[in-house]
Amino acid sequence: MEAKKRISEFRRDYPLLYNIVLIVLILLALALVSALLMNIGTRHGSHRTVPDFTGVKLQQAQRDADRSGLEIIVNDSLFVPAYEGGIVLDQLPKGGVEVKAGRKVYVTINSFRQKMVKIPYVAGRSLRQAKNMLELAGLGIDRLVYVEDMATNYVLEEFFDGVQIMPESRMQAEMGSGVTLRVGVEGGYGVTGVPKLIGMSLQRASSRLWELGLNVGSVSYDTDVDLLDRNDARVYYQSLDQGTSAALGSDVTLRLTTDAVKVEKCSAESDRAAQDRIDARLAEEARTDSLRRAGVLPENEDPARSDGAVQERSEDTMQNEEDFFL
């Protein structure tokens, strides 16, 4: 009672100071309540170490998450033939990370089966059209087989697993599968230019090779590239150099990496080699023109074959060429 009386007297004698003290006390009380509520809402001090769920079946991962006070959320699914269906392929946050209890862990699982799609009928179309139709359907080209025919670079026949695809066919294939195309080439032989593939993804490099009449040969990845990183990998080696010529249907071996520095270095080296070949060809053409203007080389004679091999010349002609440049 005495304390209450003193407070009343203080309020009466010092109303302004009383109100200031009252406001300060209310603010302190609000701050204390807010801190308590924040601790409850964020489970302050209640941390968990996220287990590594990769390679674990989804059901087992969910049980492990429950024991750790976490929640599994399936965020995406992929189809990786090397893994069993339902296996966790990736997770976020990663295993070993400290989080608060109740945190959601988003996982990517391996689907049990790849999606099935109808194989489009592409015979009778140009190779470029056929490639585009197959890619739109989620398919690719397993093999280009060139046969002699007047319809150069037109698809003559289409096969999947050894079965010919006809207009009335209703055959389906797993998305990502490839079909075999028999393609015509006049005279039974043709050449095409080899594009630069370094820096491309496997999908883009494959598409580029197919449209130019070349096959994707063996494909390998650097040892540090795992299955989930392959979509980010880029070509750093191609067995046929950019800017050269190759027979239609030739194989091009590819190697890929996720090392951007390695890709950039190989790309620069490939560009320099291609430029050197261009410079050498221009120099040879200039030399040939000089010989022809000097009358050393007949107008209708080509000093080099189309495949780069030097034609045979008589000893006298070769001596005349040497004398001309002395």
pLDDT tens column, 276-294: 999 999 999 888 888 878 7
Give the 3-state secondary structure of residue 160. Answer: strand
Q: Flag whether 151 is in a domain.
A: yes
Same domain (yes/no): 161, 222: yes
**DSSP-derived pairing of the beta strands 104-110 and 71-78:** parallel
Whether residue 256 sits in one domain with residue 134: yes
Question: Is 315 inside a domain boundary?
Answer: no
* Domain extent for 220: 116-274
Same domain, 155 and 221: yes
The verdict on 138 and 263 lying in the same domain is yes
Q: How many domains does the chain have?
A: 2
For residue 220, give the nearest of 243, 240, 239, 248 by alpha carbon.
239
Domain of residue 79, CATH code? 3.30.10.20
Same domain, 197 and 182: yes
In a domain, 281, yes or no: no
Q: Is residue 94 part of a domain?
A: yes
Backbone angles phi and psi of 68, in degrees to 5: -95, 5
User: Which band of pLDDT confidence, cut at 50, 70 and 90, is reported for residue 302?
Assistant: low
Residue-level pLDDT at 292: 79
Instruction: With beta carbons less than 8 A apart as the criterion, state whether 105 and 75 touch.
Output: no
Q: 200 lies in a domain?
A: yes
**pLDDT at position 323, please?**
43
| 326 within a domain of the structure (yes/no) | no
Q: Has residue 302 been placed in a domain?
A: no
The pLDDT value given to residue 304: 52
Q: Does any domain span residue 16?
A: no
% the chain with pLDDT above 90: 56
Indicate the residue among 274, 296, 319 that finishes a domain.
274
Q: How confident is the model at residue 119 (pLDDT cuts 50, 70, 90)?
A: very high
